Every structure is written in C-alpha cells, then in structure tokens.
Amino acid sequence: MKPDRQFIATIFSALLLMAWCLPAWSAVRHVAPTHPQAADDGDGNAMRPYRTLAFAMSRLLPGDTLRIAAGTYREALVFPRRAWSIETPTTVVGEGSVTILGTDIVGGWLAAGRPGSGLFVRREWRHEPQQVLVNGKQLKQVGGTVFDGYPERPGHALAGLHRGEGGIWPNRLAGGRSSMPRDSFFFDAQRREILIRTNAPVLSGDRVEVAVRTYLVQGEDVAGITIKGIRFRYSNTSTISRQGAVTLMGNGNTLEDIVVEDADGAGIEVAGDGNRILRATVTRSGYLGIKARGRNNLISANRVTYNNTRGFNKWWEAGGMKFIGDDGLRQSRVEGNEVTHNHGDGIWFDWGNDDNRVEKNTVAYNHGFGIHYEASSRARIADNTVFGNRQRGIYLPHSRDSVVAHNLVAANGLEGIVVIDEQRRDSDGRLDLRPHNNEVTANMMAWNKGLALILPGARYGNMSDRNVYVEADGMPQFAMGWPKWWSDKRSLARWRSHEDQDRNSITVKAPMDERIREALARGEVGIDWAAFAPFQAIATGSNTLPVVVTLPGKSSSDKAGSR
C-alpha cells in the first residue's frame, strides 16, 4: 500500500516546525582560573574549565549556563552580539564567593616631589581614572571630570544645569597637582599622568589599585539573561558615561542576589521591558544606586543604601533610585525595598512615569525626599514606611490620578505628604502637569516637622480622608498650595469646614516615645512601630481609632476610595 503523501508532508512540516521552535542545544560552561586543567579553549566543561571571563563570555551562546568558580576576577562580563532570547534563557551564576573588580593593581610609581612629600606619579596613562586606592583605601579625587569632560570642557551639555547650586557636582574638589592634599589623586590629562599623594613617605610594599573598567556588566540588545550570586566592586563608568557599572539593555533580563559596591557613578541600570532586579544590594555608588526605564519591570526586595558618595547635586540625579527618560518607568512595580541613608531622594520618579505601584518599601534617612513621584501619573503608593528623611516624606509635584494610601509617614524633616502645583508646564505639550484627581487616604502621619498635608487647590479635584494625624500637641496643620506668610495654615477643623477634606480623619495627641527618638538618632531602620503608642491600636485592630489604617507591610483590607 502506498503511503499517503499528504500525511507524510504534514508530519514532515510538523517536525520542521518543532525543530524551529525548540531552543538550540545549550551548554553548561565553567570558569575556574585556579583549576589545573583550565584553558581558554574548548567548551569550558567542568573538567577543563575556561581560565578567563573574557574568553568564556566570547563563547557564551543563548541558552547556556556559565558557572563562575569562587575567587576574585579583574575582568568584566561583556555580552557579545548574539540572538539573545527570552525563549532560550541564559544564566551567569557565581558559585561560592565571586567578586568582580573594576580596578587593576598598578605598579611603576615614581617619586614626584621632594623626599618625604608622599607625592608619586604614574606616567603614560591614557584614560582618566575616577577611583584610586592605596592598600584598599580610596583616595580623594582632585580636579576630576566626568561624563566626557564635565565641568572643564567648554559647551558641555550639562554645563548649564543648577549653576546657582554649584552645578551637578557641587562637592567636586577643584585643583591640580600643586594643591593635592594627603590621600588624594589627580589625573593630568595633558601629560597623561596619575599623581597620588599619600601619608607614607615612600611606596614600599603598598598596593595601588586604579579603576580601569568602564563596565562590570555590559549587555546591549540582550534578552533572557539572568545574572546572580556575584559581587561587583569599583568601576570607571562615569569618565564617559552616565550608565550603571552593571548595565543591561533589553527585555526579560534578571539581576538576582548580586551586590554592587563602590561604583564610581550609578550602580545598576536596566532599560527595556519585563526586567527584574531582585534582592540586590547596591551601596556607596558615586551618584546613584539604581536607574531603570521601560514597561512591566519589577524592582523588589533590594537594599539600596549610602549612595551618592561623591556629592552630586541631589536636585539633578543623585540618591537611591531614579526613573526618568524615554517615557520613564511604566506599568512597573517597586516593592519591598529598603532604601535608606542615601545622599539625595530615596525613590524618585521624574517625568512621564505612568501606572506604577510603589508598595511595601522602607524609605528612611535619605537626605532628600523619601518617595518623590514627579510629573508622572497613575501611581499607587501604598503600605510604605517613610521616616527620618531630611525633606518631605511623600511628594507628588505635578502628578495626577494617583493614590497615596496606607503609608506610615513619620518624623521627616519637612511636610508629611505633599501634592502640589508649581506652575510648570510641558513645553512640548505631551504631559499634563496639572495635579488633579489624586487621593490621600488611610495614611498615618506622625511628628513630621512641617505641615502634615498640602494639597494643590480645590479646582484640581484631589481628595484626602480617613487619615490619622499624630502630633505632640494634637494640632496638625494643613494648606492648599504652598503656604505664604499671609495664608492660613489650617487646623483639622478649619480644613474640614473650608476645604471639605479629611471629614473622617482624626488627630491623636501623643508625644514621640523616647525609644523612637533614640532609634531615629541612631539611624535605625528596623524600628518596630507597632510596639509603641499610638501605633499599637492599629497593629492590634483596636476600635479606639475610628478609621481603618493598616501598618505598612500588612495587607490593606480597606480599599474604599482607592483605584
């Protein structure tokens, strides 16, 4: 009997389709420089691993797993141009304690001053370093430039920003080789020399490290990449770029359980859709911890602390997290993060960010605002603990259609929650910067140094209600628009009668517990707010407070009035 040709053709087509759809054969590759059989050839199997990261990355293919043996590496993870795909996920994982450094140990230093002056020079150096270390201690940079020549290059694109505040880098130490203090370095671009001045009269047995790697992770047009379990430290990114020392550009990528320390500029940057930053620690970055843009991204359970060590202008782009540019961050979640002690804002959305959820974060002791949602729309800012920040707790200038609910906002240096119109307008006409239809509901505001709440004006249709206001004297104050010397900073009673706001809110007269005061003075992050009055009533569900407020981190059962 002759076979059915149509049937055979159908089966053959199906097999071809399956072959096309299935991922290519993937490999598990290894890097282990100290392995006796390590070599930069072959397939990098466990018995004969690669010797270097550079070679391993050059051989990495979509669908592969690269396992990096414990150790310290002075190389970068640079992803080659490939057809990276979410359908064929690729993983780079550290096994044990893996550290990737952006510095090299550099010798060849010559005495450059009078005997005992501690001045030494390294000649024939092409690129300006942003970091120099002697025996593990970072030296102070003198006369440095960043971002391709700022502030020395005439006509630099950033030269006109914040001129009245010292520019974008007010803490820059100006000077040159003749004005170097002890424990400093200077790059002489004309002579192509690095000079260092140390406390030691001679460099004998001292280890000098110089930042040389622009990126510690660089991936452009990548997809389906996961990097996990690796520690990254030091970098030389800001000489030419505002990107992160760890940068992934593409879709469906994940940074998981990594540590980024002492980056010279930004720590982490992701751009694209469906990316994730999970359980990362980003600390002591030069100007910013995390930056991101794109849609459907998740930034969760990260610890972002002590960033902006170089003293960049916090009104520019410095602090913990900032999301801006190319339509910003959209339909994304920033949740469960600990964002503290940054020299700038804690979490800042700036210009054209939409439909984001900012939930269950601890945002404390930042030098700027706690949560700053600027010129953006449709946020849900809920269940956050925002305390001890030097400026406003939660700040929404020129933002609209957002919900601020179930937050604890306490002991901040200015107002508790502010929604405001500063009369800015989008010159392109793309963004509606009128702050309308925002809701401030079921929050607890306690002991903030400024007014408890400011709204932008009745004409914008904002609503505040069912909040708890805690003050030592039981007298919180409110305002419509920025209060002037002649304007009325209103009590809750006058706020209700004049503005029809907070009809179901209450005030609680309670001084700050001394144990809270002491914890704030120490900069403690893990304050157990529920252990102190008047928060105990909220934690236990007591009926002594005639409004429903949930402590941050607990599920919000009261959704009335929330979008």
Q: Which of 211, 186, 195, 181 is nearest to 123 (CA)?
A: 195
Geometric angle at alpha carbon 141, from 139 and 147, rounded to 5°: 135
Query: Residue 144: is its pLDDT beyond 60?
Result: yes
Predicted confidence at residue 9, as pLDDT, reads: 53
Neighbours of 541 (CB within 10 A): 10
**Model confidence over 483-514: pLDDT tens digits?**
875 556 789 999 999 999 999 999 999 999 99
Q: How many CB atoms lie within 10 A of CB 473?
A: 9
Is residue 318 within 8 A of residue 312, CB to CB? The reply is: yes
Q: Which helix (H) or strand (E) holds 98?
A: strand 98-101
Residue 353 tokens, joined: 């960010």
Beta strands in 224-360 (DSSP E): 225-228, 231-233, 244-251, 254-256, 259-261, 266-271, 276-278, 281-283, 288-295, 298-300, 303-305, 319-323, 329-330, 333-335, 338-340, 345-350, 357-359
- What is the mean predicted confidence (pLDDT) over 201-206? 87
Q: Which two tokens stand for residue 350?
A: 């700036």
Checking if the pLDDT of 417 tops 60, the result is yes
Closest Cα to residue 100, out of 276, 247, 246? 246
Q: How many angstroms separate the Cα of 369 from the Cα of each of 152, 321, 387, 436, 484? A: 30, 12, 10, 21, 21
Q: What is the pLDDT of residues 21-61, one digit of tens each?
A: 444 568 999 999 999 999 999 999 999 999 999 999 999 99
Sign of CA dihedral 367, 369, 371, 377: negative
Among 86, 328, 81, residue whose Cα is nearest residue 221? 81
Mean pLDDT of the chain: 92
pLDDT at residue 283 is higher than 80: yes
Would you say 295 and 282 are in contact if contact means Cβ atoms under 8 Å apart? no
Please indicate whether residue 342 or residue 457 has the higher confidence score (pLDDT): 342
Mean pLDDT confidence for 155-161: 96
pLDDT the model gives residue 536: 75
Lowest mean pLDDT among 5-19, 64-78, 477-491, 499-513: 5-19
Report the distance separating Cα 366 and Cα 6, nearest Å. 71
Tell me what pLDDT residue 346 has.
99
314 — pLDDT class (breaks 50, 70, 90)? very high
Output the pLDDT for position 480: 93
User: Using CA atoms, how far apart are residues 37 and 331, in angstroms rounded to an integer?
Assistant: 49
CA distance 79 to 227: 12
What is the spatial distance between Cα 353 and Cα 372, in angstroms, rounded to a whole number? 12
pLDDT for the residue 489 = 77
Residue with tokens 């053709």: 9
What CATH topology corresponds to 26-102+213-368?
Answer: Pectate Lyase C-like (2.160.20)
Q: Which residue has the higher pLDDT, 358 or 432?
A: 358
Alpha-carbon distances of 253 from 67, 230, 336, 433, 487, rounded to whole Å = 17, 16, 19, 32, 51
Predicted confidence at residue 555, as pLDDT, reads: 41
User: Residue 543 has what pLDDT?
Assistant: 42
Q: Percent of the chain beyond pLDDT 70?
A: 90
User: What is residue 400's three-state secondary structure?
Assistant: strand
Distance CA 110, CA 485 (A): 63
Pairing of strands 338-340, 319-323: unpaired
pLDDT of residue 557: 40
Residue 16: its pLDDT value, please? 43
Decide which of 13 and 496 is more confident.
Answer: 496
* Helices within 4-139 (DSSP H only): 5-21, 53-59
Contacts of 363 by beta carbon, 8 Å cutoff, 6+ apart:
320, 339, 340, 346, 347, 370, 371, 384, 385, 386, 387, 389
**Residue 8 predicted with pLDDT over 70:** no
Residue 477 — pLDDT band, cuts 50, 70, 90? very high
As a residue count, the chain comes to: 563
H helices, E strands: number in the chain:
6, 48
Closest CA to 354 of 257, 268, 284, 432: 432
Rounded to two decimals, the pTM is 0.92
Eight-class DSSP state of 382: E
Contact between 257 and 229 under an 8 Å Cβ cutoff? The reply is yes
The yes-or-no verdict on residue 535 having pLDDT over 90 is no
Which residues have CB under 8 Å from 221's CB, separation 6+?
81, 84, 249, 250
| Interval 298-324 mean pLDDT | 98
Q: What is the 3-state secondary structure (H, E, C) of 428-496?
A: CCCCCCCCCCCEEECCEEECCCCCCEEECCHHHCCEEECCEEEECCCCCCEEECCCCCCCCCECHHHHH
Q: How far apart are CA 126 and CA 188, in angstroms?
A: 10
Collapse the DSSP code of 368 into the 3-class scheme (helix H, G, I; strand E, B; otherwise coil) and give the result. Answer: coil
Which segments of the chain belong to CATH 2.160.20.10? 26-102+213-368
- What's the whole-number mean pLDDT along residues 314-329? 91
Which pLDDT score is estimated for 242? Answer: 97
Residue 345 has pLDDT above 70, yes or no: yes
- Asked if the model's pLDDT at residue 12 lies above 70, the reply is no
199 vs 414, more confident: 414
Q: For the segment 98-121, what is each residue's pLDDT rounded down to a tens digit?
A: 999 999 999 999 999 888 899 999
Residue 202 has a pLDDT of: 86
Residue whose C-alpha is closest to residue 448's, from 370, 347, 382, 376: 370
Task: Report helix, strand or coil for 499.
Answer: helix
DSSP 297-335: -EEES-EEES--TT---HHHH-EEEEE-STT-EES-EEE
Give the mean model confidence (pLDDT) for residues 239-267: 99
E strand or H helix at 185, and its extent?
Answer: strand 184-188
Q: In a 3-state reduction of DSSP, which class is residue 277?
A: strand
Q: What is the pLDDT of residues 208-221, one digit of tens each?
A: 999 999 999 999 99
